[in-house]
């Protein structure tokens, strides 16, 4: 396959720069854009709305929620002024078993208050409300929002949900929450259901449907075009795409771990395209121990397991103990065939 002029530039770049480039690589595929647009709607439309427009970004671990949030926040960097630190978009990470005092403390911590944990619930709340205005916060993003749902007791942390509703009313600042699918229980509770109308569920790529396969292969083609190697790697070819799907089960985080690692392997051996042994080594060192993948052999060793590919489910289609993502029991079967056995 011919090498395009645009790709040839990578040959002149130092290995360290190329590895840094792939480690920060971001492909804006359609579902990613949908999530960014949700944040943008809540942020911008609230300025002309009678009340704050709040939303929710839900999805299993690894689907890209945090990547979307961080990408949006980069458009609104923190600004230091003579009187305050301006944070137009504030990301707050909620701690487990969230209660009103804990949420207020988490907000103060994100606002860099040195005394973020000192005081009563009312004192912390008052300081949070004051600092949110003082720091010109226009949008609050609450990450790990599922911590407002007590999964052991299957109940919503009602006081925390009530406190959040009052905060939105008093500050008139829109809030977007991000979390695991069980956050839906909190969003559907009496105190929050009306507030969070704009919702988006971020899902894993799906191999089981024709549109899903097209979307996944389209993502692989975009990655192939963007990675810092001088020759294309044919990642979207039928055989290779099937192997990559088995290796990541549609989880964007696993996919990027695989591709970034394979690019590094190729660069370190002086190659200008990803080859099967690169992917096999990365899978074995970084993914094979994941609960979701314990029961399968390395998909980059030997022939493609077409039967396994035909029955594979996206990771968020079923559940797995300890991951919050997937299917079956977390026990290892007979010793897996490893890359070193055949490479």
Query: SS3 of 343, please?
Result: coil
Contact status, residue 310 vs residue 338, Cβ threshold 8 Å? no
Which letter does DSSP use for residue 194 in this model?
A: T
Dump pLDDT digits (tens) for 163-186.
Answer: 999 999 999 999 999 999 999 988
Give, rounded to a whole angstrom, the gap between the first and last alpha carbons of the chain: 25
Dump pLDDT digits (tens) for 117-163.
Answer: 999 999 999 999 999 999 999 999 999 999 988 766 556 788 888 99
Dump pLDDT digits (tens) for 288-330.
Answer: 999 999 999 999 999 999 999 999 999 988 654 433 443 333 3
User: What pLDDT does residue 317 have?
Assistant: 82
100: closest CA among 34, 151, 143, 162? 162
Residue 31 has, within 13 A of its CA and on its CB side, a CA count of 20
What are the sequence ranges of the domains in the chain? 30-201, 205-342
Neighbours of 192 (CB within 10 A): 25
Dump pLDDT digits (tens) for 209-244.
Answer: 999 999 999 999 999 999 999 999 999 999 999 999
CATH class of 30-201: alpha beta
> Distance between CA atoms of 107 and 103, rounded to whole angstroms?
6
pTM as predicted: 0.85
User: What pLDDT does residue 340 have?
Assistant: 54
User: What pLDDT does residue 33 have?
Assistant: 93
Mean pLDDT in residue range 244-267: 97
Average pLDDT score, the chain = 89
Contacts of 157 (CB under 8 A, 6+ apart): 97, 98, 99, 148, 149, 150, 186
């Amino acid at each position: 396959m011919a090498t395009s002029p645009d790709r040839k530039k990578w040959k002149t770049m130092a290995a360290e720069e190329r590895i840094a480039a792939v480690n920060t690589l971001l492909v804006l595929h359609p579902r990613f854009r949908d999530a960014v647009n949700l944040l943008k709607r809540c942020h911008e439309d609230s300025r002309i709305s009678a009340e704050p427009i709040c939303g929710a970004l839900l999805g299993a671990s690894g689907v890209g929620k945090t990547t979307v949030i961080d990408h949006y926040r980069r458009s609104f960097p923190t600004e230091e002024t003579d009187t305050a630190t301006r944070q137009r978009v504030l990301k707050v990470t909620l701690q487990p078993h969230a209660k009103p005092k804990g949420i207020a403390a988490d907000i103060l911590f994100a606002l860099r208050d040195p005394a973020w944990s000192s005081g009563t619930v009312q004192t912390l709340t008052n300081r949070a409300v004051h600092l949110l205005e003082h720091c010109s916060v226009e949008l609050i993003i609450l990450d790990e929002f599922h911590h407002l749902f007590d999964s052991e007791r299957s109940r919503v942390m009602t006081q925390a949900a009530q406190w959040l509703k009052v905060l939105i009313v008093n500050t008139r600042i829109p809030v977007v929450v991000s979390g695991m699918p069980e956050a839906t229980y909190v969003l559907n509770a009496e105190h929050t259901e009306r507030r969070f109308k704009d919702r988006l569920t971020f899902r894993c790529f799906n191999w089981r449907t024709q549109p899903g396969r097209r979307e996944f292969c389209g993502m692989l083609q975009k990655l192939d075009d963007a990675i810092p190697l001088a020759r294309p790697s044919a990642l979207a070819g039928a055989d290779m795409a099937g192997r990559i799907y088995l290796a990541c089960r549609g989880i964007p985080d696993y996919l990027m771990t695989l591709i970034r690692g394979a690019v590094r392997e190729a660069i370190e051996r002086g190659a200008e395209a990803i080859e099967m042994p690169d992917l096999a080594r990365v899978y074995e060192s970084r993914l094979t121990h994941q609960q979701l993948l314990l029961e399968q052999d390395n998909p980059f060793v030997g022939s493609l397991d077409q039967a396994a590919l035909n029955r594979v489910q996206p990771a968020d289609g079923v559940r797995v103990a300890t991951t919050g993502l997937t299917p079956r029991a977390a026990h290892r079967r007979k010793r897996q065939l490893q890359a070193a056995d055949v490479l």
